[in-house]
């Protein structure tokens, strides 16, 4: 049975999808775009100055994180290979209602955002000369790559509603998937999440959180 969903406007004026049955959102109700930039760009992507960055996103969802990474990579002159894993893709109707290109003053890249969503799953495509996207439709627990990624955006639904995604078992897979000195960033700050990250080998930092959250976590594979 499909859970009841609706589009809501968040604190910064940008939109997200709310799953009413869970009282859970795809992005922070305090500001979808603000949260995405704070967690994944400011404390993730901007750590990398080299020209090639392999990124794994846990929870492709609305495509917001992939799209702002595309925009930011152009500014930083990065070459990005982006893998987005999602078990339950959002609909194109929902994508249209979110209207992220207008919110980000990036209407010139509307076609890019559309292609990100319309492209086939399980197929690597060139979004631009310096940005590739490979969407994979599967459970996060089925990820088995090793020493492949520089950066992981861990953006699964919260542990309150999906605790099985915030376990040592899952984070061990994330640790293995990263290259040495690879980084995992997440909006989460729960002590149980921090301890699970540390248990599998991450060196964990507690950082100031986005609007509405006191802290967030960043793990590094030393």
Domain-by-domain residue ranges, the chain? 31-220
Mean pLDDT of 135-143: 95
pLDDT reported for residue 47: 96
User: What local confidence, expressed as pLDDT, does residue 51 receive?
Assistant: 79
Residues 137 and 204: their CA atoms lie apart, in Å, by: 29
* pLDDT, tens only, 173-216: 999 999 999 999 999 999 999 999 999 999 999 999 999 999 99
Q: Where are the beta strands (DSSP E) in the chain?
A: 5-9, 15-19, 24-25, 52-58, 79-85, 124-128, 131-136, 149-154, 178-186, 203-208, 215-220
Q: What is the mean pLDDT of residues 165-173?
A: 97
Measured distance CA(35)–CA(219) in Å, rounded: 18
- When pLDDT is averaged across residues 110-117 and rounded to a whole number, the result is 97
**What confidence tier does 2 reach under pLDDT thresholds 50, 70, 90?**
low
Q: Residue 10 in contact with residue 211, Cβ under 8 Å? A: no
Predicted confidence (pLDDT) at residue 131 exceeds the cutoff of 60 = yes
Q: What is the pLDDT of residue 1?
A: 46
Find the mean pLDDT for residues 7-32.
95
What residues contact 222, with CB distance under 8 A and at least 6 apart? 180, 181, 201, 203
Angle at 98 between CA 93 and CA 100, to 5 degrees: 130
Quickly tell me which residue has 């559309």 as its tokens.
114
**Under CATH, to which class is 31-220 assigned?**
alpha beta
Integer Cα distance of 154 and 57 in angstroms: 6
Check residue 147 and give its pLDDT.
98
Q: How confident is the model at residue 3 (pLDDT cuts 50, 70, 90)?
A: confident
Q: What is each CA distance from 66 to 33, 46, 163, 181, in whole angstroms?
A: 12, 14, 24, 22
pLDDT > 90 fraction of the chain, expressed in percent and rounded: 95
pLDDT classification of 144: cutoffs 50, 70, 90? very high
**pLDDT(32) > 70:** yes
> How high does pLDDT run on average in the chain?
96
């Amino acid at each position: 049975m499909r859970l009841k969903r609706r589009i809501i406007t968040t604190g910064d004026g940008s939109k997200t999808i709310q799953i009413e049955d869970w009282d859970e959102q795809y992005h922070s109700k305090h500001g979808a775009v603000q949260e995405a930039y704070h967690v994944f760009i400011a404390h993730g992507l901007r750590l990398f100055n080299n020209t090639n960055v392999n990124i794994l996103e846990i929870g492709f969802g609305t495509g917001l994180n992939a799209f702002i990474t595309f925009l930011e990579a152009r500014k930083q002159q990065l070459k990005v290979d982006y893998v987005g894993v999602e078990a339950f893709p959002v609909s194109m109707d929902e994508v249209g209602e979110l209207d992220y290109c207008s919110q980000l003053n990036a209407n010139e890249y509307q076609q890019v955002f559309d292609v990100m969503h319309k492209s086939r799953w399980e197929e690597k495509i060139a979004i631009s000369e310096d940005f590739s996207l490979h969407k994979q439709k599967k459970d996060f627990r089925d990820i088995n790559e090793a020493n492949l990624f520089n950066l992981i955006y861990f953006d699964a639904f919260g542990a309150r509603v999906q605790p099985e995604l915030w376990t040592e078992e899952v984070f061990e897979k994330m640790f293995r998937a990263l290259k040495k000195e690879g980084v995992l960033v997440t909006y989460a700050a729960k002590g149980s999440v921090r301890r699970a990250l540390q248990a599998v080998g991450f060196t964990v930092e507690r950082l100031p959180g986005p609007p509405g959250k006191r802290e967030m976590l960043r793990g590094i594979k030393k």
